[in-house]
Structure 1
Amino acid sequence: MTMKPIETLRAGLPDRYLTPEDLAATLAVPIETVYHWRKRRIGPPGFRVGRHVRYDPAAVRDWITQQTDRDTA
């Protein structure tokens, strides 16, 4: 049984670690943008699990808040 994305969200983000694809879908940006942010270290902080990159939803939420605050200042 597959769940709809909105059913797995709490406060706009899932309760599990996000993949780069999840992050791109959540922010409605191309996956290449997520990789570009990571390479330039300007996006949400990610971490490696073996060879896979994951993002903590709380860190993503904080990063979004920082971006919003910066843009409104």
Structure 2
Amino acid sequence: MEDETMLPPQVASYLKIKTQTLAKWRLIGYGPVYFNAGRSIRYRRSAVDEWIKNQQISNTSMNPIRRQGRP
């Protein structure tokens, strides 16, 4: 069975984010792995699902500490 490919609007809907957020993620190297098919950006559903799986935090000690800026 061939892995389904998805366009950015489909991935954004699947992740419940805006397409602009997904585009920003691509620029900074964050988010699911994507590839170019001609002039079109595509994602494999398996890559999106794997990325989601890797985002899971099993306990709070794995959560990065966020420092507040100066007041």
2:33 to 45, 51, 58: 45
What RMSD in Å do the two structures reach over aligned CA positions? 1.1
State TM-score, norm by structure 1: 0.72
State TM-score, norm by structure 2: 0.74
Higher relative contact order (CA 8 A, sep 6+): 2
- Which structure has the greater CA radius of gyration? 2
Please list every run of at least 4 consecutive aligned residues from structure 1 whose deviation after the TM superposition is greater than 3 angstroms: none
From the two aligned structures, give the one with the greater helix fraction: 1
Written as runs of structure 1 = structure 2, the 5 A alignment for 1:1-73 is 16-68=4-56, 71-72=57-58, 73=62
**5+ unaligned residues in a row in structure 1: which ranges?**
1-14
- In the TM superposition, what is the alpha-carbon distance from 1:16 to its structure 2 partner? 2.1
Amino-acid identity (%): 33
Distance in 1 between residues matched to 2:15 and 2:47, nearest whole Å: 14
